[in-house]
């Protein structure tokens, strides 16, 4: 280890002070500087606050315009979106789903809701996401193709899908993912919960896979209070997603006929009203986040032992969460730094705990996770609100 | 059959015209006549629209004050509440859950989410809900007690819980339910989705069972856009419900440790803000609904072949949905009447289709359902908004 924890704490605190000033700062706060009041009030005045209403339709339409996806289905949160997207990908009882070890637990939980099992993949340090090359080697060794299905030779289970996640807004190697999915016969679902506004090869994340899932949680670049959406170019899938998210009710003026076990996963109209206003400001939010990245970059670029995570090749990131990588050896050091910087009033945090360290996922299949382990220890998220610099 | 469909259509149309005037009227609309905008605006201004915020805490506290339950946990909708309540009752893989055949599909779906199976119960015509006496006879014949569990002798499965639903706001025979649950060793969970404000023996529905579940969907007496809550007097259960509804994350300033497979079922703060304002007006809403009942009652009381459903014994109903029972023989007649009255601009509807007529629940265990079958055909819900008479 080249520097003690104190070195990093002081470096980060003085860096943050120089960029955001000497004040208490949250990790991420939403900005309501546009038509939020107007639309939410209009929604209340209409009395259509719930399942029916023009804002849900408009929000879905605005999402397709913005992302270029042919269809968008608004849902109650990103977790619900992932659950439906996996069901649409055919994930079911006793299947396995490839997903990053370093992600928010919702990705793994959504797999569990399908009675399937996460199968954990290492992290590519270039983009903090799904490590395509390593997974290709791993799958070549550990799976076989049988009747057009990818079979885990150890467990005998079908690996039905892969769910890369665009960590902190940075797109994974999507081309590599597409090839991998094709070569190994697994469905490709994009967990784009953090990457609204992020492009890969000029195209919006979440629009490459069979479907992509967005989140509009309060900590995201755009929020609806709680909310999410499924993006897809497949009309049939979009209809099925809408059907499943609205209790699988068949259209009828008064009869309640449901043709399968559906879910109450629709987004309420009042939340969509908020979303419509937020989306209008998304380009401005991204510009501000990219500006914040530049400020942090200039602040930390010449400092020994730290580097600011930047957008990967071929990508334009929304820079949802700014991230420093520290040249430290272990979690103990990381905790000391986190403690000191948080104490100083700047909210910083580590990435999530790796999925295989959590009680419910301790025994799921996993490849070697050395990079993910390292990154879980060396990364620190910095205050990243779009409104941070005014 | 004593009268043709035309008789009933004309009777209902002229009745509705006399009570609500000659205009288009919805089945149920929310009323936002209080502090809704004030609180929602305050919520937006605070920027705490999502998982953290004072309105969620306040809404839960207001719900305990109003219902008398010791604890309330706000969730994203009633379906999510039912799912959690069943998990808390220990419902799991291959269990059976006694529930009414006549209910909204969410009750059955929540059972399915637990990998359990609905077991359908007939309808007591006195309260339109769980037919306690008939169920007691049925269970005496078809189940046996083994190691303190109620075993379905036909399927060999454990009957783990019973979930009566207070139909249209009218409380079931709760005393009978409590005795039944005790005698047969099944957990008693109340589906109080429709009965916020309804009392049984002077006590609020949803507070008698191990837990009770409320809904604040857009069509309910009080709405949060989408929302629900779990009521319980058991502190441990309340904590567990909150934990499961918030991804089972352990409290920590920055680490993301989740100790079981949880859910993203929390209610966003912006929806809770709406709920706080709505709850303030609940007593007024109930008074208006009871007044509407009286108007309808006087209008239909001397008419042949119809009777207005009134609150059951020992109960004070919120009269969420006003309901006529018609002396008709079949669904064909009912459809003719529904068609004519809806055509005239008054939105009316039948109860839900019985669960065993729906594709996903065609083959679930069920007792004889004669009363439920009859009621599904003879009942018609009338326009019931609290704001209907101004």
All structural domains of chain B, each given as residue ranges with its CATH number in brackets, are: 5-29+282-381 (3.90.1150.10), 36-280 (3.40.640.10)
Strand partners, A381: A323, A349
Whole-number Cα distances in Å, B89 to A318, B95, B160, B211:
43, 11, 8, 8
CB of B261 within 8 A of CB of B312?
Answer: no
CA dist., res. B282 & res. B289, Å (int):
10
Residue B225, CB-side half-sphere exposure with 13 Å CA sphere: 37
Do A271 and B77 make contact, defined as CB atoms within 8 angstroms?
A: no
Token pair in block for residue A65 = 């315009």
Do A266 and B226 make contact, defined as CB atoms within 8 angstroms?
A: yes
Query: Mean of the pLDDT values across residues A163-183?
Result: 98
B258 contact residues in A (CB cutoff 8 A): 105, 358-360
Do A256 and B44 make contact, defined as CB atoms within 8 angstroms?
A: no
Strand partners, B200: B203, B315
- Counting residues of chain B whose pLDDT is more than 90, the rounded percentage is 97
Do A270 and B270 make contact, defined as CB atoms within 8 angstroms?
A: yes
Chain A residue closest in CA terms to B385: A47
Going by pLDDT thresholds of 50, 70 and 90, the confidence category of residue B52 is: confident
Residue B309, CB-side half-sphere exposure with 13 Å CA sphere: 31
CB of A56 within 8 A of CB of A39?
Answer: no
To 10 degrees, what angle do helices A78-88 and A235-245 make?
Answer: 130
Query: Mean of the pLDDT values across residues A86-99?
Result: 98
Average pLDDT, chain A: 97
pTM of structure: 0.97
Do A44 and B50 make contact, defined as CB atoms within 8 angstroms?
A: no
Say what the pLDDT of residue A50 is: 81
Residue of A78, A262, A268 lying closest to B271 (CB–CB): A268
CB of B368 within 8 A of CB of B122?
Answer: yes
Do A262 and B352 make contact, defined as CB atoms within 8 angstroms?
A: no
Do A48 and B218 make contact, defined as CB atoms within 8 angstroms?
A: yes
Do B256 and A32 make contact, defined as CB atoms within 8 angstroms?
A: no
CA dist., res. A128 & res. B335, Å (int):
59
Chain A residue closest in CA terms to B34: A44
A358 contact residues in B (CB cutoff 8 A): 257-259
B271 contact residues in A (CB cutoff 8 A): 225-226, 268, 270-271
Say what the pLDDT of residue B51 is: 79
Residue A2 has pLDDT above 80, yes or no: no
Residue whose entry in the numeric block shows the structure tokens 């996996």: A86
Q: What is the pLDDT of residues A96-114, one digit of tens each?
A: 999 999 999 999 999 999 9
- Min Cα distance A358 → chain B (Å) is 6
- Counting residues of chain B whose pLDDT is more than 70, the rounded percentage is 100
- Min Cα distance B72 → chain A (Å) is 20
CA dist., res. B36 & res. B34, Å (int):
6
A-to-B residue pairs, Cβ atoms closer than 8 angstroms: 184
Residue B35 has pLDDT above 60, yes or no: yes
Nearest to B128 by CA among B166, B97, B99, B163: B166
């Amino acid at each position: 280890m080249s520097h003690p924890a104190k070195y990093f704490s002081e470096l980060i605190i003085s860096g943050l002070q120089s960029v955001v000033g000497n004040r208490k700062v949250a990790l991420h706060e939403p900005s309501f500087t546009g038509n939020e009041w107007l639309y939410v009030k209009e929604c209340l005045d209409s009395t259509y606050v719930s399942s029916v209403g023009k804002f849900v339709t408009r929000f879905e339409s605005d999402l397709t315009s913005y992302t270029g996806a042919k269809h968008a289905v608004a849902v109650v949160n990103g977790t619900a979106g992932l659950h439906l997207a996996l069901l649409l990908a055919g994930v079911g009882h006793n299947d396995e789903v490839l997903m990053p070890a370093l992600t928010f637990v919702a990705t793994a939980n959504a797999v569990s809701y399908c009675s399937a099992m996460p199968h954990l993949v290492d992290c590519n340090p270039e983009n903090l996401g799904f490590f395509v090359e390593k997974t290709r080697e791993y799958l070549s060794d550990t799976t076989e193709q049988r009747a057009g299905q990818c079979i885990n030779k150890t467990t005998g289970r079908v690996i039905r899908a892969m769910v890369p996640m665009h960590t902190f807004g940075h797109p994974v190697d999507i081309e590599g993912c597409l090839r991998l999915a094709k070569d190994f016969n697994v469905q490709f679902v994009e967990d784009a919960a953090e990457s609204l506004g992020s492009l890969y090869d000029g195209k919006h994340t979440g629009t490459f896979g069979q479907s992509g899932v967005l989140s509009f949680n309060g900590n995201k670049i755009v929020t609806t209070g709680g909310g999410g959406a499924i993006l897809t170019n497949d009309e049939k899938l979009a209809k099925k997603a809408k059907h499943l998210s609205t209790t699988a009710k068949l259209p009828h003026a008064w009869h309640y006929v449901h043709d399968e076990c559906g879910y109450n996963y629709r987004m309420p109209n009042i939340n969509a009203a908020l979303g419509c206003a937020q989306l209008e400001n998304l380009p401005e939010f991204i510009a501000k986040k990219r500006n914040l990245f530049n400020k942090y970059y200039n602040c930390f670029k010449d400092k020994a032992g730290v580097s600011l995570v930047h957008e990967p090749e071929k990508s334009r990131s929304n820079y949802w969460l700014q991230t420093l990588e520290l040249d430290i050896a272990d979690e103990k050091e990381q905790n000391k730094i986190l403690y000191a910087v948080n104490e100083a009033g700047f909210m910083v945090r580590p990435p999530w705990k790796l999925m295989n360290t959590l009680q419910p996922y301790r025994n799921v299949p996993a490849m070697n996770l050395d990079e993910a382990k390292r990154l879980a220890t060396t990364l620190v998220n910095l205050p990243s609100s779009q409104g941070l610099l005014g």
